[in-house]
Amino acid sequence: MADFKKGIQTFGRSLLLPIAVLAPVGMIMGIANALTQKYLTEKAPWLGNDIVQEVLTSLGTIAQVVFDNIPLLFAMGVAYGMCKRDKGIAVFSSVVGYLTMQMVMNIYLIVTGSLVKDPDLMRAAGQGLVLGVQTVRLEAAGGIIAGLLAAYCCDKWGAIELPLAFAFFGGKKFVAIATFLLMIPLGFVLPIVWGLFTKVLIFISPIFMNDTFGVGLYWMAHRLCIPFGLHHVLASVVRFTEAGGTYMINGQPFVGILPAANEVLFNQGPGSQAWTDYGPKLFGYLGTGQMLTTLFRIPAIGLAMYHTAFKENKQIAKAAILTVVLTAFLGNITEPIEFSFLFIAPGLFILYAGLCGLLAIPLQFLHISIGYIRGTIFDFGIFGLLYDDTNWINLVLLGLVNSVVFYFVFRFVITKWQLETLGREKAMGDRTLLMEKRYDDIAELVIIALGGKENIKNVDNCVSRLRVDLVDNDKVNQDLLKDTGTSGIFFPQAGHIHVVFGPYVEFVRNAVDTHMKK
């Protein structure tokens, strides 16, 4: 069970790379497409200039190619994240496997007489052109399958020795060959399995897509998944598969929340029937729902922590709290502040998740239509204030209600149960190294605090956490680890530790890798 949980966590982390790419590229595409909308050029005539429009249209087209190839990005990201042996070979093999998959499914459609020749009926039949091949549109799931297969082949056969006559094809070369060969039977089975899988997803989708309380259940589950690193898996399923619903817009079906939201936001625009019918619901599962947390709840929690901090700690606590609040406000990274109380009060975190779900339910009724994915202040400014018919004022009003509730709930719980939140620690760790960005010094401390190189089996990271596989948890010196500037330490299971560094984690991870090789 522990190995299974660890595998799921690793899988969740592997989705971060493609998702991280989609966010800024989506922002560029969103800005470009928004500024070429007719309703906006009518308000700002200078945007209608031919050169300006050509530049914006070109930017949108360039960014669109990334979204058109989301499955391929997932294939490479999953292969990189899941492979333990040679990640580069796994990524290469995932592309080989993904291309093979498309052609095998094309042959399946031809052989079974299922190939739809009318382009207008392709999408309705779940088919489409992928890299020039008409195939079954598995969307992100197809890429994930190719990535998992490539990672498996790399770990299993990356060092295989073949008979002398075939020795040239052994080792790393065999990984891509094995991925190709195994994908052939898998590609014939996938269309059958996918048909059944689609029916199951459609059956369970009403749970999270319920028009009354679905968005609340989704955001509660999303928060509860964060400690285990599974929130990315949940988000990906709802955004890119039938679990997020299928939406008919101008006679075309769009599978999943994100493709439908892109169509409504960038192609249909405010004033369209699709904007009225689908906008508020779709965006509630994306930027609008996340903005409640990043722009209102997290700042309120931070204020409650500051007001309840010990007087002698307030000055130090203010800097730490402001940092984690701005990290969420500007970058949509909420884990640092969430982990700061998850470790010391799991019950408070569960209450927090429940409140996130409960106070998100009004999104279903307030007709708020603000994109995009990240839910930062930039999203609010671009997709809330610049777009028409967003009802952004309703988000602000609901957000203020959230702020008040979260502030008083956290202030009451912290003081009632004397929780050691930021500023209330009996002995706060020294954050000097982190604030001064002395990553080499931090890395040395991390390695020593974790019991030395001999106690460290593997080092990885996600958006905000250093994730380390250990030989023995008991060898960890938590007091020394606090002096690295971490905002949280978490032992999710035996032989594994999470150390929270927020947006600095990538630099800390690189420094740790360097020192581990010395």
Q: How far apart are CA 469 and CA 495, in angstroms?
A: 6
Position 387 in a domain: no
Say if CB 439 and CB 511 are below 8 A apart. Answer: yes
Residues present in the chain in total: 518
Reduced to 3 states, what is the DSSP secondary structure of residue 500?
A: strand
Which letter, b or e, does each residue of 56-94 get, where b requires 16 or more Cβ atoms within 10 Å of its Cβ?
A: beebbeebbebbeebbbbbbbbbbbbbbebbbebbbbbb
Q: Which of left, alpha, beta for 134 (phi over 0: left; psi -120 to 50: alpha)?
A: beta
CA distances from 434 to 298, 334, 464, 501, 503 (A): 22, 18, 14, 8, 11
Position 311 in a domain: no
What angle, 0 to 180 degrees and rounded to 10, lies between the N-to-C axes of helices 70-82 and 50-68? 50
Q: Which of 184, 208, 232 is the last residue of a domain?
A: 208
Instruction: Identify the DSSP state of 381.
Output: I
**Total count of domains within the chain:** 2
Give me the phi and psi of 61, to 5 degrees please.
-65, -40
- Domain range for 443 is 432-517
The CATH number linked to 446 is 3.30.1360.60
Q: Which of 159, 176, 208 is the last residue of a domain?
A: 208
Position 59 in a domain: yes
The amino acid present at 66, given as its one-letter code, is V
Q: Which helix (H) or strand (E) holds 360?
A: none
Q: How far apart are CA 6 and CA 17, in angstroms?
A: 18
Per-residue pLDDT of the chain (518 residues; tens, 9 = 90+): 556 656 666 676 677 677 667 767 766 776 787 678 666 677 778 888 889 899 999 998 998 888 788 889 989 988 988 888 788 999 999 999 999 999 999 999 999 998 988 876 676 567 888 888 999 888 778 898 999 999 999 999 988 888 888 888 888 899 999 999 999 999 999 998 877 766 665 666 678 889 899 999 999 999 988 876 567 667 877 887 778 888 999 889 998 899 999 999 888 989 899 999 999 999 999 999 999 999 999 999 999 999 998 886 787 778 778 888 887 887 787 877 887 788 678 899 999 999 999 999 999 899 999 977 778 887 898 889 888 899 999 999 999 999 999 999 999 999 999 887 877 855 446 677 887 889 999 999 999 999 999 999 988 886 667 889 899 999 999 889 988 888 778 887 788 898 888 768 889 999 999 999 88
Position 89 in a domain: yes
Q: How far apart are CA 386 and CA 87, in angstroms?
A: 42
350 burial via Cβ count (<10 Å: 0-12, 13-18, 19+) = middle
Position 203 in a domain: yes
Q: Which of 208, 243, 276 is the last residue of a domain?
A: 208
Position 448 in a domain: yes
